[in-house]
């Protein structure tokens, strides 16, 4: 089991059959679809991926297009996970990478996932029952100081301070970020003037960078459904005019570049 903290009094929560409860009797129900909602601030409730984005991401990732990234992640997990490691996926989405981590880390690790979207966590629960899921914000995680050995932050908002806080000394943060030409041909199919991504710096203080593995390959999307799933799982979907979006409806095939960096950091005190 992965241990979460009570969002009200910050004491550990104990999991019972239907609730999580702390020593001050603050209790949080476990939803039918397996997650616990630990968000107490109304202000935070409105963000996160909706059902369509979650479903599109699942449909797309399950076709294996990003398997090279998943495999590179699993190599890192096999390198760093030990018996009893506590691993948190911060901004887990529908759990394609979290589930791979759970497999690679083996039975003796404790895997937790947080996301601000309950639709995402509902989807994780359909993938695997081996991950404890909580609705929570990356900017205020219900996780104890220095309690995790590995944290994951894949294509999600990055809050270094929080990730640093929850990791143990010597703990490992694994991030994935898109590089300059990621999905450029997809953007070109939609926009008259597509932009390249602004590259993020690999340095991420107070963490120490251990390795940066750049992955560049091309994928061939061979159906309109896959093209739409890919587009709908990106934030572009909500920022694109109807007229531009409709350009995708007549495409049955698209080859596009994929460019990621898998970054591994260590918390060194």
Which residue from 1, 9, 52, 67 is in contact with Zn ion, where contact means CB under 5 A?
A: 9
Could you tell me the smallest distance in angstroms from the CB atom of residue 8 to Zn ion? 4
**Interface mask toward ligand SAM for 150-179; x: CB under 6 A:** ----xxxx----------------------
57 binds ligand SAM (CB under 6 A): yes
Q: Which one of residues 139, 211, 216, 255 is an interface residue with ligand SAM (CB under 6 A)?
A: 139
Q: What share of the chain is helix, strand, coil (3-state, %, to 5)?
A: 30, 30, 40
47 binds ligand SAM (CB under 6 A): yes
Q: How many residues does the chain have?
A: 269
CB 178 within 8 A of CB 215: no
Indicate whether 232 belongs to the interface with ligand SAM (CB under 6 A): no
Please list, in sequence order, all residues whose beta carbon lies within 8 angstroms of the beta carbon of residue 84, skipping any fewer than 6 positions away: 108, 109, 110
50's tokens = 């909706």
Q: How far is the CB of 118 from Zn ion (least distance, A)?
A: 21
Closest approach, Cβ 172 to Zn ion, in A, equals 29
Among 14, 19, 21, 26, binds Zn ion (CB under 5 A): 26
Q: Does 24 bind Zn ion (CB under 5 A)?
A: yes
Residue identified by tokens 């076709």 is 63
Residue 95 backbone zone (phi > 0: left; psi -120 to 50: alpha; other: beta):
left
* Distance between CA atoms of residues 201 and 259, nearest Å: 15
Compare residues 18 and 216 and give the one whose CB is closer to ligand SAM: 216
Asked if 40 is part of the footprint of ligand SAM (rule: CB under 6 A), the reply reads no
Nearer CB in complex with ligand SAM: 3/49: 49
Which range, of 92-100, 123-131, 183-191, 214-222, touches ligand SAM by CB under 6 A? Answer: 92-100
DSSP letter for each residue of 247-262: GGGG-S-EEEEEEEEE
Residues 182-201 within binding reach of ligand SAM (CB under 6 A): none
Count other C-beta atoms under 10 Å from residue 1's C-beta.
10
């Amino acid at each position: 089991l992965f241990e979460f903290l009570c969002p009200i009094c910050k004491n550990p929560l104990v999991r019972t059959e239907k609730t999580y409860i702390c020593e001050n009797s603050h209790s949080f129900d476990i939803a039918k679809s397996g997650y616990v909602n630990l968000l107490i601030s109304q202000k935070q409730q409105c963000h996160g991926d909706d059902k369509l984005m979650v479903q599109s991401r699942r449909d797309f990732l399950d076709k294996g297009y990003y398997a090279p990234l998943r495999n590179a992640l699993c190599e890192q997990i096999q390198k760093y996970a030990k018996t009893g490691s506590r691993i948190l996926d911060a901004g887990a989405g529908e759990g394609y990478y979290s589930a791979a981590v759970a497999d690679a880390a083996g039975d003796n690790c404790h895997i937790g996932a947080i996301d601000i979207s309950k639709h995402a966590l509902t989807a994780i629960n359909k993938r695997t029952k081996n991950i404890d899921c909580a609705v929570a914000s990356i900017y205020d995680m219900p996780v104890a100081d220095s309690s995790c050995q590995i944290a994951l932050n894949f294509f999600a908002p990055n809050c270094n301070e929080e990730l640093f806080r929850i990791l143990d000394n010597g703990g490992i943060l694994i991030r994935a970020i898109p590089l300059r030409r990621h999905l450029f041909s997809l953007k070109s199919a939609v926009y008259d003037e597509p932009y390249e991504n602004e590259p993020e710096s690999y340095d991420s203080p107070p963490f120490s960078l251990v390795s940066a593995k750049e992955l560049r390959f091309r994928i061939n999307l061979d159906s309109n459904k896959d093209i739409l799933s890919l587009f709908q799982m990106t934030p572009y979907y909500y920022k694109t005019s109807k007229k531009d979006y409709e350009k995708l409806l007549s495409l049955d095939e698209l080859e596009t570049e994929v460019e990621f960096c898998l970054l591994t950091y260590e918390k060194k005190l």
